[in-house]
Homo-oligomer: A and B are copies of this chain.
Amino acid sequence: MTPAKRLVVVGAGPGGYDAALAGAAAGLAVTLVERGKLGGTCLNWGCIPTKHLLAATLAVDALEAQAKQKLASGEVTVALAAVQAKKKKLLSATQSAMAKRLEQAGIALVTGNLSGVAPGLAKVTVGAETRDIPFDALILALGSRAAAFPGVKPDGKAVLGVAPVLDFAEAPKSLVIVGAGAIGLEISEVYRRLGAKVTLVDAAPRLAPAEDPDVSKVVAQVMRRKGIDARPGVKVESLVTDEAGMARLTLAGGEVIVAEKALVAIGRFAATVVPGLAELGATFADAAPNRAWLVTDDTLQTAPDIYAVGDCNGRTLLAHAASSQGHYAARHAAGLESGPYAPGPIPGCYYGAPEIMRVGAIAAPGDGVSEAAFVANPIAQAHADTAGFARAVWREGKVVGLTAVGHGASTMGTLATVIVAEGWTRERCEALVFPHPGLDETLRAALLAEVKIKE
């Protein structure tokens, strides 16, 4: 492959933004196409807004934890409308900073919609006109969109998608959430702290179904203690706005739950409808063309000189995975990377209550497993929040997976990534001096605990 000179990137979420910057740094002439706001799902309707709401309500949770042990009393009232105004301002400021950085890097930002592709040409609709933007390499960072199914989809009235729920200026008195993945878990905790009666349902047999089953048990225990009505293994018959304007959830079996608002957070679909893409050689992972992930090879190409990075390739629906892929793809296009894309294990975190962190393998039968509970951790004890554990998974004497669930577990994500990426042995774990006291000493205790074979 001849190194590209003209790079077109479509989508300015984490994947596309970092692809554009890496392309410019590699000396390419870069055009970045975005139809909406800079920052994609992560900045606008995902990772960042949820963190604002969780942090803004932290005092409520910290007070509750202490009050439950009669160590403190009082009341915290969150001014949600003010929090939303601050959030909006900060997101705008971040977008301005991003735009400035793109400009400084000499990247042409085009506000428009990718309406099709042809050999060497991206067709972009800008207002009333359509421009043909030539490329030597094209990076598609098209993102994903909320999944919906007949009978369970936002109607814009009481049944909502994630974006409006993250923008509530006032907390609903009651909230039904369908979907117990990261989005459902984090938002249930936010609005519980804000006083809503929260009901969380999922068809999967357990909460956080992508994680270790024992993690799900801790999540269930913590949510029950906090007063969230969390029901895994429940099938939804329908979710509609009723005549009184309330969200009406009917479960298989007939039980009806009525709430002021409902959130549908049942997964993500790809957003890959691009006329002409299949003709250039792209293939899709699903027969339904309006929701199918783009299949990519080991250099992240979905067709010759056309890369797909981030959510739209369905590999790992996480912002930092998208960034890493975008960075690689731009450098590959520029001829600065020749080997296959091999980022090592990608950490994943949930930031609600409890927090969850996982990198690499979940324990399977035959794996070695070593673990430690947070109950003896002095920092967890001090925060009156000791549920959970850390667990290491071992294969051939090396760490291949790390999971933690409990207070502050997300803060261990990067350390865990190093350990799993490098496949640390027990000796190497022993040699590392951890600062005392720290939550991650429970990770250390797990790494140094007796290894048992999982049956």
Name A's B-contacting residues (CB within 8 A).
14, 42, 47-48, 51-52, 54-56, 58-59, 62-63, 66, 69-79, 82-83, 86, 90, 94, 97, 318-321, 323-324, 343-344, 346-349, 357, 376, 378-379, 381-384, 408, 410-411, 413-415, 417-418, 421, 431-440
- Pick the residue among B71, B378, B408 that contacts A411 (CB under 8 A): B408
- Pick the residue among B74, B384, B432 that contacts A417 (CB under 8 A): B432
- Inter-chain contacts of A440 with B (CB < 8 A): 411, 414
B418 near A435: Cβ-Cβ < 8 Å: no
- Inter-chain contacts of A75 with B (CB < 8 A): 74-75
Instruction: Write the chain B residue with the least CB distance to A444.
Output: B414
Q: How far is the CA of A94 from the CA of B380 in the complex (A)?
A: 13
- Inter-chain contacts of A378 with B (CB < 8 A): 47-48, 51-52, 90, 94
- Pick the residue among B47, B62, B343, B379 that contacts A437 (CB under 8 A): B47
A347 near B90: Cβ-Cβ < 8 Å: no
A267 to chain B minimum Cβ distance, whole angstroms, is 20
B78 near A56: Cβ-Cβ < 8 Å: no
- Inter-chain contacts of A434 with B (CB < 8 A): 320, 347, 413-414, 417
A438-B411 contact, Cβ under 8 Å, with A56-B66, A77-B73: yes
B411 near A439: Cβ-Cβ < 8 Å: yes
- Inter-chain contacts of A74 with B (CB < 8 A): 59, 74-77
A347 near B435: Cβ-Cβ < 8 Å: yes
With a 10 A CB-CB cut-off, give which of A56, A66, A82 has the most chain B CB atoms.
A66
Interface residues of A, dominant DSSP: helix
Q: How far is the CA of A410 from the CA of B410 in the complex (A)?
A: 14
B417 near A435: Cβ-Cβ < 8 Å: yes
A66 near B77: Cβ-Cβ < 8 Å: no
Q: How far is the CA of A55 from the CA of B62 in the complex (A)?
A: 9
14 further A-B contacts with Cβ under 8 Å, apart from A346-B433, A411-B439, are A47-B437, A52-B382, A55-B383, A55-B384, A69-B82, A71-B79, A72-B78, A73-B79, A74-B75, A90-B381, A94-B376, A410-B435, A413-B438, A414-B432
- Inter-chain contacts of A319 with B (CB < 8 A): 436-437
A383 near B435: Cβ-Cβ < 8 Å: no
B435 near A54: Cβ-Cβ < 8 Å: no
A248 to chain B minimum Cβ distance, whole angstroms, is 33
B414 near A318: Cβ-Cβ < 8 Å: no
Q: How far is the CA of A50 from the CA of B77 in the complex (A)?
A: 28
- Inter-chain contacts of A47 with B (CB < 8 A): 378, 436-437
B62 near A59: Cβ-Cβ < 8 Å: yes
- Pick the residue among B56, B321, B436 that contacts A433 (CB under 8 A): B321
- Pick the residue among B51, B82, B408, B410 that contacts A71 (CB under 8 A): B82
Interchain Cβ contacts under 8 Å between A and B, 20 examples: A51-B379, A56-B72, A58-B383, A59-B59, A59-B76, A63-B76, A70-B82, A72-B78, A72-B83, A73-B77, A74-B77, A90-B378, A318-B435, A323-B436, A344-B432, A346-B433, A349-B438, A411-B439, A414-B415, A415-B418
B435 near A349: Cβ-Cβ < 8 Å: yes
- Inter-chain contacts of A55 with B (CB < 8 A): 379, 382-384
Q: How far is the CA of A79 from the CA of B74 in the complex (A)?
A: 11
- Inter-chain contacts of A379 with B (CB < 8 A): 51, 55
